[in-house]
């Protein structure tokens, strides 16, 4: 079997040394990656992330990057003397905050990521969810202790037109998308990047959704334990969702939406670990890092396969 195509960094070495069947299944498939958390403000980690994205492309996958920018937005708001406030894990977005978010996301964070990727070739093209009506949103309230709270210009994606993204992918480019959407009313909305990535993954028929954050995965009993849940079905995650901490809520909600919309797997990985992205995508689910969410039917199929194998053993 031939070796996996390596980039000039050799970061795939030790992860995959041959073409197993599951890697062939990924050829030509779309993988949507949400890059966020404090890893985004670490220059070395951002550079490593760019290398990993290029390696995915060289391995035959078609990556789409959706980025956050919470730390950078908060830093700019602090500099400008504007309030930083969150409800249910979502930033309260006033018109002034929206102006800052739009400026930072598309004018700073996206440019830095595009530059890091294009240091390795003419791959990345930056765009906003506003462009070509890629994402259309409506105003989204938050639920806090059972009551509805107005959090301002925060959007819920209601429709996705993936045409511009598909055109870029077909041209061999890597789209880098800022999570901003326009409403049918002409208003501009700040969209949580986890949920934006989930909506794009569903609309593109992606094989995988990967959420890179600054924790190891979904903890089984936070804050009492740091044991990470390695694998969850959609149904199991749905049952856990109401009790999750606000920071993890949009990440896991995004994973749940994605797998229920046809995405085969969703991963939550620790973006502070160099090459976590490659380890998460190229490892078998049972051996991979972080938390993997799979559709209920996949879990049922695996259980049926295991029972059939057991029965076969008994027969022989």
Alpha-carbon distance of 253 to 29, in angstroms, equals 23
Sheet of 208-213: strand order equals: 124-128, 174-178, 62-67, 30-35, 208-213, 265-270, 291-294, 231-233
Do 55 and 7 form a contact (C-beta atoms < 8 A)?
A: yes
Rg (CA), the chain: 20
Per-residue pLDDT of the chain (316 residues; tens, 9 = 90+): 233 333 333 444 344 444 556 567 788 999 999 998 767 788 899 999 999 999 999 989 999 999 999 889 999 999 999 988 888 778 899 999 999 999 999 999 999 999 999 999 999 999 999 999 999 999 988 887 788 889 999 999 999 999 999 999 999 999 999 999 999 889 999 999 999 999 999 999 999 999 999 889 999 887 777 899 999 999 999 999 988 887 888 999 999 999 999 999 999 999 999 999 998 888 754 456 899 999 997 655 555 455 555 655 655 6
CA 30 to chain centre: 12
Whether the pTM exceeds 0.75: the reply is yes
Q: At what angle do helices 249-260 and 193-204 cross, to 10 degrees?
A: 10
> What backbone torsions phi and psi does residue 294 show, to the nearest 5 degrees?
-125, 155
Write the CA distances from 121 to 27, 160, 169, 213, 300, integer angstroms: 21, 29, 15, 26, 43
For residue 240, give the nearest of 291, 169, 315, 307 by alpha carbon: 291
How many angstroms separate the first and last alpha carbons of the chain?
32
Write the CA distances from 58 to 165, 172, 209, 214, 300, integer angstroms: 19, 11, 18, 26, 33
Do 84 and 197 form a contact (C-beta atoms < 8 A)?
A: no
pLDDT for the residue numbered 220: 87
CA 8 to chain centre: 25
Alpha-carbon distance of 182 to 196, in angstroms, equals 13
Alpha-carbon distance of 286 to 281, in angstroms, equals 12
Alpha-carbon distance of 286 to 79, in angstroms, equals 45
pLDDT for the residue numbered 175: 98
**DSSP secondary structure of 12-51:** TTTT-SS--HHHHHHTT-EEEEEE-GGGGG-HHHHHHHHH
Instruction: Determine which helix (DSSP H) or strand (DSSP E) holds 85, and give its type and residue range.
Output: none
Alpha-carbon distance of 197 to 270, in angstroms, equals 17
297 contact partners, CB below 8 Å, separation of at least 6: none
SS3 content of the chain, % helix, strand, coil (to 5): 40, 25, 35
């Amino acid at each position: 079997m031939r070796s996996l195509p390596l980039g000039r960094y050799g970061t795939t070495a030790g992860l995959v040394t041959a073409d197993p069947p599951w890697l062939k299944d990924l050829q030509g498939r779309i993988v949507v990656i949400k890059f966020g958390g404090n890893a985004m403000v670490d220059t070395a980690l951002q550079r490593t992330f760019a290398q990993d994205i290029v390696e995915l492309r060289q391995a035959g996958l078609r990556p789409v990057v959706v980025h956050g920018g919470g730390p950078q937005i908060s830093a700019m708001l602090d500099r400008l003397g504007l309030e930083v406030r969150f409800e249910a894990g979502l930033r309260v977005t006033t018109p002034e905050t929206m102006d800052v978010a739009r400026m930072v996301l598309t004018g700073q964070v996206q440019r830095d990521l595009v530059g890091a990727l294009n240091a390795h070739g003419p791959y990345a093209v930056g765009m906003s969810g506003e462009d070509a009506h890629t994402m259309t949103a409506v105003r989204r309230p938050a639920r806090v202790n059972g009551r509805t709270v107005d959090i301002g210009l925060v959007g819920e994606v209601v429709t996705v037109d993936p045409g511009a993204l598909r055109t870029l992918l077909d041209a061999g480019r890597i789209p880098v998308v800022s999570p901003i959407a326009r409403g049918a009313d002409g208003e501009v909305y700040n969209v949580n990047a986890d949920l934006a990535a989930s909506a794009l993954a569903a609309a593109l028929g992606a094989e995988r959704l990967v959420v890179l954050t600054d924790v190891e995965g979904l903890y089984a009993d936070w804050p009492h334990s740091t044991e990470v849940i390695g694998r969850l079905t959609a149904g199991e995650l749905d049952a856990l969702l109401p009790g999750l901490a606000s920071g993890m809520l949009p990440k896991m909600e995004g994973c749940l939406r994605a797998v229920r919309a046809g995405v085969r797997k969703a991963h939550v990985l620790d973006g502070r670990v160099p090459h976590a992205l490659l380890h998460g995508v190229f490892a078998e689910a049972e051996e991979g890092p972080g938390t993997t969410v799979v559709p209920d039917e996949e879990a049922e199929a695996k259980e049926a396969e295991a029972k059939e194998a057991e029965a076969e053993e008994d027969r022989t």
